[in-house]
Amino acid sequence: MSIGKSIGKGMALFAIVFAGAYGAMVWFNQTKGTEKPLIVYKSDPGANLAVQNAGSLPDFRSAVQKILPSVVSIDTLVQGENWFGEQVIEPTGSGSGVVLSQNGYIVTNNHVVTNGGRRVADRIIVKFKDGTSEEATIVGRDPRSDLAVLKVNRNDLTPVTVGDSAKLEVGEWTIAAGNPLGFEHTISVGVVSSIGRPLQSSDSAIFVDGIQTDAALNPGNSGGPLFNLLGEVVGVTNMKITFGEGLGFAIPSEIVKYFLDHRDAYAYSNDNPSNAYRYLEPPGRIKHKSATE
């Protein structure tokens, strides 16, 4: 069921904002055919509740200082021709992402690296908190859940810690981080407005159990984290209702974890960009043994 149907005909969902990802003690197993976790969960709902109830208003500074070094900005470019037939590289969009591992793995939205699902970017530039930039490659993506994993050539990054979205409660404080409208490393604060929302974006990405938040989300936040007061990532924000206020949504960390744990199923190759998946051999190519063998 799409969110458009649930709130009335004519309501347009515009996928613009995603934040977040995983990584408390993160690793990436590069051996093909294995399914070892990319991240390890860390969640302490009791400690989070204690922080929530510590005073009349919480202090967000500790959580923000913990998460911001792991938040990146992402710019995408495609190759094309101008009016004179000359080959040019043109920018197509921007978004956010979050560092999963020290050795260069980053999670973001699929719609960030595909210009809203229309075309995979020819070049992806990732900018870090320290001002440095690196070119990234796509190593996995899933259009249906609107998630993608990137790789940069770095071994000194700060990974995030991942919380458990299943422990979230309505009314709990949440913080969104990203690069809205080009304003890098911006945060916004809100609460969990609802949980378990079934969502569908304009580029056919579908996920269930979406997190609804009133934290401010704008174009450019896509792919960045939604995190709790302990600095644990609990979701990746990816969309908002464009003509409403305080109606933003995030992919739960449980879904992101599933995508990362089964990343081999979503492996992406730049040598074959039209195929984002590894399929089993087609039936016609399978050699069956004869009855005499």
- Establish whether 111 is a catalytic residue: yes
Q: Which of 70, 165, 201, 222 is catalytic?
A: 222
| Whole-angstrom distance, CA of residue 155 vs CA of residue 285 | 41
Placement of tokens 């004519």 in the chain: 10
CA-nearest of 104, 227, 96, 215 to 163 is 227
Q: What is the DSSP letter of 67?
A: H
| Whole-angstrom distance, CA of residue 242 vs CA of residue 290 | 60
- Establish whether 146 is a catalytic residue: yes
Residue 179 structure tokens:
């690069």
| Whole-angstrom distance, CA of residue 169 vs CA of residue 23 | 22
Q: Which of 146, 164, 165, 193 is catalytic?
A: 146
- Establish whether 222 is a catalytic residue: yes
Q: Which of 111, 165, 185, 203 is catalytic?
A: 111
| Whole-angstrom distance, CA of residue 38 vs CA of residue 47 | 25
**What positions carry a catalytic annotation?**
111, 146, 222
